Amino acid sequence: MRSAFFPILFTALLLLSTACSQSSHEQNDRRTSEAKRKVDAEAQRLRQDARHLGHDIHQALTGTGPQTGGPTQGAEAKLRQGGEDLRVAGDKAAVKLGHAATIAEVKAKLATATGLSSVTSIEVSIDPTGHVVTLHGRVASEAQKRRAAQVAGEVSGVTRVINQLWIQP
């Protein structure tokens, strides 16, 4: 009787540990899906904000927006200068929003990529052109380092990835 007890106990412990790891995996999958959904929603909102801002700027510069009546010549010059200032500020804001959307998309892809969903220490930055992404942080293996660069390079608009990740097993 004693000899049959230990194999049964071992089998029960093995099944219990497998069930716990599946539960943890399912919980990680849910968290990853939720994070991706939030990042996608934020990226979409940023894109919409950039489009609306661009439309408003175009209206202000072309005079197709709401009109005011009877300005004097000095007021017209101030209005033109204000329109130019608004255009410049809008261009800068659109660039920042575009960069934020690209960073959000890279982070979402990294969070959901096979082999990278458990990596939380990757930081993403983008150059002023918006086409070169730099990855910083730690990963557990050379394979994760290569996979992170590959995933970041698949994002629309990214032409180059500078991989400054370092391996810490």
The pLDDT-based confidence of 154 (bands split at 50, 70, 90) is: very high
Instruction: Give a yes or no: residue 100 inside a domain.
Output: yes
Both tokens of 80, joined, read 């033109």
Instruction: Give a yes or no: residue 5 inside a domain.
Output: no
Instruction: Give a yes or no: residue 6 inside a domain.
Output: no
CATH number at residue 58: 3.30.1340.30
Instruction: Give a yes or no: residue 41 inside a domain.
Output: yes
Both tokens of 116, joined, read 């990278």
Report, as an integer, the average pLDDT of 74-90: 80
SS (H, E, C) 13-25: HHHHHHHHHHHHH
Its sign, for the CA torsion 54, 56, 59, 63, is negative
| Structural domain span for residue 157 | 30-167
Report, as an integer, the average pLDDT of 154-164: 93
Distance between CA atoms of residues 38 and 148, nearest Å? 20
Q: In what order do the strands lie in the sheet with 122-126?
A: 122-126, 132-139, 160-167
C-beta separation of 136 from 165 below 8 A: yes
Q: Read off the pLDDT of residues 3-22 as tens digits, 9 standing for 90 and up.
A: 555 566 566 655 555 555 55
How many folded domains does the chain comprise? 1
Instruction: Give a yes or no: residue 4 inside a domain.
Output: no
Instruction: Give a yes or no: residue 89 inside a domain.
Output: yes
Instruction: Give a yes or no: residue 14 inside a domain.
Output: no
Instruction: Give a yes or no: residue 13 inside a domain.
Output: no
C-beta separation of 153 from 136 below 8 A: no
What is the pLDDT, as a whole number, of residue 43? 73
Judged by average pLDDT, the poorest of 49-53, 98-102, 104-108 is 49-53
Distance between CA atoms of residues 153 and 71, nearest Å? 52
C-beta separation of 113 from 147 below 8 A: yes
